[in-house]
């Protein structure tokens, strides 16, 4: 399998967390804060919160910064709304007051 740092990545920044999904992975990584790992990002929506660049963290080699993983079928990566749906469901299940806050999908 291809090195995770060389595969396409989707990120969804919401609820004070970064949800990162690498193509062909059977899980979504949850990281605290709004972060990027030194890669080029295409901004889909206007961002109203700062995103920290962490160039020393590389997808597949940054497990120490993971808060959790969300198991999911790798084939869902190609569904346009899959990542935001997974993130919202996870945040609702892991917060006392449910999923709230600003969110932005970036790829």
pLDDT for 83 equals 95
Low-confidence ranges of the chain (pLDDT < 70): 1-5, 38-60, 96-107
Domain count, the chain: 1
* Cβ contact 16:32 at 8 Å: yes
* Residue 38 belongs to domain spanning: 4-106
* Cβ contact 84:104 at 8 Å: no
Q: What is d(CA 43, CA 107) in angstroms, rounded to the nearest whole number?
A: 7
pLDDT for 34 equals 81
> What's the burial of 37, exposed, middle or buried (CB within 10 Å: 0-12/13-18/19+)?
buried
> Considering the entire predicted model, what is its pTM?
0.73
Containing 82, the helix (H) or strand (E) segment is helix 82-93
């Amino acid at each position: 399998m291809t090195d995770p740092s060389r595969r396409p990545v989707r990120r969804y920044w919401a609820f004070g967390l970064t949800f990162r999904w690498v193509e062909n992975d059977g899980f979504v990584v949850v990281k605290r804060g709004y972060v990027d790992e030194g890669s080029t990002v295409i901004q889909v929506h206007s961002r109203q919160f700062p995103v920290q660049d962490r160039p020393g963290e590389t997808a597949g080699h940054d497990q120490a910064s993971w808060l959790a993983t969300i198991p999911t079928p790798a084939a869902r990566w190609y569904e346009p709304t899959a990542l935001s749906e997974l993130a919202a469901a996870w945040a609702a299940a892991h917060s006392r007051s449910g999923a709230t806050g600003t969110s932005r999908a970036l790829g």
